[in-house]
Amino acid sequence: MKSEATEFWRLLFNLVDDFRELAARRNRNLEMTEFANVTVGQMRVLKAIFAFEEKYPDGVMLKLLAEKVNLTPGAASIIVDTLVKQGILDRRTSEVDRRAVCIGLSEQGKKIIACYGDFFTGVTAGFLGGVSREEYESMMKLLTKFNQNILKMKDENENQ
């Protein structure tokens, strides 16, 4: 099982690295330079803020954002400051607590998220080419199980 586990994580890491390299190459080829300046770390922050938008329409507090992306509040603050200066994020006063500052996507940030969503959908459709419906459903069941196992391991780690 150990060699199978090693083979699996190597293949998974290579897949993720190749996917990221394809995204980076796409960034370099974009005509809109504002998209080309977003790093992987910044994209994680943007994705997290986007995920929080439904629950927190006024924006998310820095502490919660930092927890979501597994960064210290200081490190998250540096990324947020950079993205605010680039016009990708906005700082907003909380409607609930006027003393609190919330962070949300600007219009430019929303365009970047949409652009990346389109990109990932297109690339995913490309590498799913030639995969049968049965293979797809099996893969989705496995990926869901992997995700559940990882979440369980995270919970167990946090409770130790």
| Predicted local distance difference test score (pLDDT) of residue 72 | 93
Break the chain into its structural domains and give their ranges: 38-129, 132-160
| Predicted local distance difference test score (pLDDT) of residue 46 | 94
| Predicted local distance difference test score (pLDDT) of residue 107 | 93
| Predicted local distance difference test score (pLDDT) of residue 20 | 76
- 0.85 exceeded by pTM: no
Residue closest to 20 by CA, chosen among 40, 35, 36: 40
| Predicted local distance difference test score (pLDDT) of residue 36 | 58
DSSP codes of every residue in 34-76: HHHT--HHHHHHHHHHHHHTTT-TT-B-HHHHHHHTT--HHHH
CA distances from 36 to 2, 39, 85, 129, 155 (A): 40, 8, 15, 28, 35
Residue closest to 64 by CA, chosen among 54, 75, 52: 52
At the topology level, CATH places domain 38-129 in Arc Repressor Mutant, subunit A (1.10.10)
| Predicted local distance difference test score (pLDDT) of residue 126 | 86
CA pseudo-torsion sign 95, 97, 99, 104: negative
Parts of the chain with a pLDDT under 70: 1, 24, 26-36
| Predicted local distance difference test score (pLDDT) of residue 67 | 92
| Predicted local distance difference test score (pLDDT) of residue 1 | 67
Give the whole-angstrom CA distance, residue 136 versus residue 47: 25
